[in-house]
A and B are shown apart, each in its own frame.
Chain A
Amino acid sequence: MSEAPYNPVVVEHFGRPRNVGRFASAADIIAASAGDPDQGVRFDLSARVKDDRIVALRFEVYGCPHCIAAGSLLSERLQGATQAQLLRWSWREAADELEFPPEKRGRLLVLEDAVRALAAEWQRRG
């Protein structure tokens, strides 16, 4: 298999994904997930929050190379994010940078669902 189906950003993040893992439950940790491996993709997100910002974000993923790269990219982009920024995050950002094939964009919507669920959990915690 050549690297042709994946752009260099995907190849780089796939080979060396950032911030993989999860934080153990704690008062300052929020977590959320979306997807189902039987559907081909699942994202688990966990974040340490302080005041009104995410100070660290970890992700776990079951999915294709584009999805692994998307989780990694997201984990970098949302470091330091506020609740408002979290709510504004859109799948289109990752779709453009990672050149997601149109037929796979549904998987990015799953990631967006996980981000929204994380924001909802944060709001619920107050």
Chain B
Amino acid sequence: MNTVKTIYLDYAASTPVDPRVADAMIECLRPSGEQGNPSSAGHEYGRRARGLVEKARMQVAKAIGAQPQSIVWTSGATESDNLAIFGVARFNADRGKHLVSSKTEHKAVLDPLKQLEREGFEVTWLKPEADGIVRPEQVQAALRPDTQLVSLMHVNNEIGVVQDIAAVGAICRERGVAFHVDAAQSAGKLPLNVETMNVDLLSLTAHKIYGPKGIGALYVRRKPPLGLKPLIYGGGQESGIRSGTLATHQIVGMGLAFEIAERERQQDVERIGALRDKLWAGISSIGDVELNGHPHDRVAGLLNISFRGVEGESLQFALRELAVSAGSACSSASEEASYVLRALGRSDQLAQSSLRFSLGRYTTPEQIETAIAAVKREVARLRSYSPAAEKKS
């Protein structure tokens, strides 16, 4: 293994846990920490644990402009997405079975929607423009009297483009259609306010914002209340929406991660954005490379780049001193070219020859310089092996 010297540029897949977050979590786990069940209101141990859970709930709520009681703890964004989509669709099934989403959503949204199609629901799949952006008018045009839910991600996990959530939210609100947003990739990177963005359901996760893996949350609008059928039944925790013993240390970690991320967001974004610009300037100077997705409506820290005439797996292996993703990490085990890049109209070759570089809180200018040098060297090397016809393309 050569992981020690590998430069981590895969923050969009997962972030390291901030040491401040790790310390808070470890304190919970010590014998002197909070071993009580937060639902055990009858004794001091339970009440102390509950206090920490509720503090974290406030921290997360504050970061998205929500009331604390609208935050439901889950195991992560995948569960949040599933809960939002199945929850709304099944709760409202007798009133309509039409749903709207886009072709470039995360699999955690695509697959529940495909399952609902098998159960008799109808999904309108919006195709983004070549820049990866779904125009609000497309959503407007897709709505029908029987539409129950629109689900759209805030920031795309593969290419980093930002959707106009507030505009889509306003359309949904006007038509009385529930609006779900997967914000796994935008929390801590963009301002989030569920009220001004007219969002009814918002999926969040801790591990992309310097918190632990295995904990997430779903914001569920309470005023007026949004009907949601649970996925998990049991002890009735989280107002019966999500049963299961609350994981105090995980929740504490997520709460603090969100508080820190919101407090330090502006300085983080400015610093990371400057490093991303430096990386793009270096890589684009190689030539015959293309930035995937809108050039400006994108989060700081994420670049998805297609390299002409270079095969993706070879490029990733040649660049194994850099921890980057080919396509999205969640689906890179599959052989198929990225469905997101294909949906944007990229050829199989370009889609297959793309790498995602994602920077974060601990990325340094020196790492970016090393990365640029490595990409320049290896792209030139692999292109020198390519058949002549490819070199000219």
Chain A interface (Cβ < 8 Å from any Cβ of B):
1-3, 6, 14, 17, 20, 22, 33, 37-44, 60-65, 67-68, 103
Contacts of B311 on A, CB cut-off 8 Å?
A: 37, 40-41, 62-64, 67
Which of B2, B316, B352, B387 is the one whose CB lies under 8 Å from A33?
A: B387
Contacts of A38 on B, CB cut-off 8 Å?
A: 347-349
Which of A2, A6, A62 is the one whose CB lies under 8 Å from B1?
A: A2
Chain A residue nearest to B319 (CB atoms) is A1
Q: What are some 17 contacts across the A-B interface (CB < 8 A)?
A: A1-B316, A1-B320, A2-B2, A2-B3, A14-B318, A37-B387, A41-B311, A42-B387, A42-B390, A43-B387, A44-B388, A61-B385, A61-B386, A62-B390, A63-B314, A65-B313, A67-B314
Decide if A20 touches B384 in the complex (CB within 8 Å). Answer: yes
Min CB gap B266→A, angstroms: 33
Decide if B317 touches A14 in the complex (CB within 8 Å). Answer: yes
Residue B309 is within 8 A (CB to CB) of chain A in the complex: yes
Q: A62-B309, A63-B311, A64-B311 are in contact. Are A1 and B317 (CB under 8 A)?
A: yes
Chain A residue nearest to B322 (CB atoms) is A1
Which of A17, A62, A65 is the one whose CB lies under 8 Å from B386?
A: A62
Contacts of B320 on A, CB cut-off 8 Å?
A: 1-3
Complex CA distance for A90 and B354, rounded to whole angstroms: 32
Chain B interface (Cβ < 8 Å from any Cβ of A):
1-3, 309, 311, 313-314, 316-318, 320, 323, 335, 347-349, 352, 384-388, 390
Which of B348, B349, B352, B388 is the one whose CB lies under 8 Å from A60?
A: B388
Chain B residue nearest to A5 (CB atoms) is B317
Complex CA distance for A96 and B386, rounded to whole angstroms: 25
Q: Tally of A-B residue pairs with Cβ under 8 A?
A: 63
Complex CA distance for A33 and B389, rounded to whole angstroms: 11
Min CB gap B145→A, angstroms: 43
Decide if B314 touches A64 in the complex (CB within 8 Å). Answer: yes
Which of A20, A33, A37, A41 is the one whose CB lies under 8 Å from B385?
A: A20
Min CB gap B290→A, angstroms: 15
Contacts of A67 on B, CB cut-off 8 Å?
A: 311, 314
Complex CA distance for A42 and B390, rounded to whole angstroms: 10
Contacts of A42 on B, CB cut-off 8 Å?
A: 387, 390
Complex CA distance for A26 and B1, rounded to whole angstroms: 46
Complex CA distance for A46 and B302, rounded to whole angstroms: 41
Complex CA distance for A22 and B389, rounded to whole angstroms: 12
Min CB gap A123→B, angstroms: 23
User: 7 new A-B pairs (CB below 8 Å) besides A44-B387, A62-B390, A64-B313?
Assistant: A17-B385, A20-B385, A22-B388, A37-B349, A44-B388, A64-B311, A103-B335
Decide if B352 touches A62 in the complex (CB within 8 Å). Answer: no
Chain B residue nearest to A14 (CB atoms) is B317
Chain A residue nearest to B326 (CB atoms) is A1
Decide if B317 touches A6 in the complex (CB within 8 Å). Answer: yes
Decide if A60 touches B314 in the complex (CB within 8 Å). Answer: no
Decide if A40 touches B387 in the complex (CB within 8 Å). Answer: no
Most chain-B Cβ atoms within 10 A of its Cβ — which of A38, A40, A41, A62? Answer: A62
Min CB gap A57→B, angstroms: 15
Decide if A14 touches B314 in the complex (CB within 8 Å). Answer: yes
Decide if A62 touches B317 in the complex (CB within 8 Å). Answer: no
Decide if A65 touches B387 in the complex (CB within 8 Å). Answer: no
Contacts of A20 on B, CB cut-off 8 Å?
A: 384-385
Contacts of A103 on B, CB cut-off 8 Å?
A: 335
Contacts of B387 on A, CB cut-off 8 Å?
A: 33, 37, 42-44, 60-62
Contacts of B323 on A, CB cut-off 8 Å?
A: 1
Min CB gap B10→A, angstroms: 10
Complex CA distance for A60 and B383, rounded to whole angstroms: 10
Chain B residue nearest to A103 (CB atoms) is B335
Chain B residue nearest to A66 (CB atoms) is B313
Decide if A40 touches B316 in the complex (CB within 8 Å). Answer: no
Contacts of B386 on A, CB cut-off 8 Å?
A: 60-62
Complex CA distance for A40 and B320, rounded to whole angstroms: 20
Complex CA distance for A42 and B310, rounded to whole angstroms: 11
Contacts of B347 on A, CB cut-off 8 Å?
A: 38
Decide if A68 touches B314 in the complex (CB within 8 Å). Answer: yes
Chain B residue nearest to A15 (CB atoms) is B318
Min CB gap B376→A, angstroms: 17
Contacts of A14 on B, CB cut-off 8 Å?
A: 314, 317-318
Contacts of B388 on A, CB cut-off 8 Å?
A: 22, 44, 60
Chain B residue nearest to A39 (CB atoms) is B348
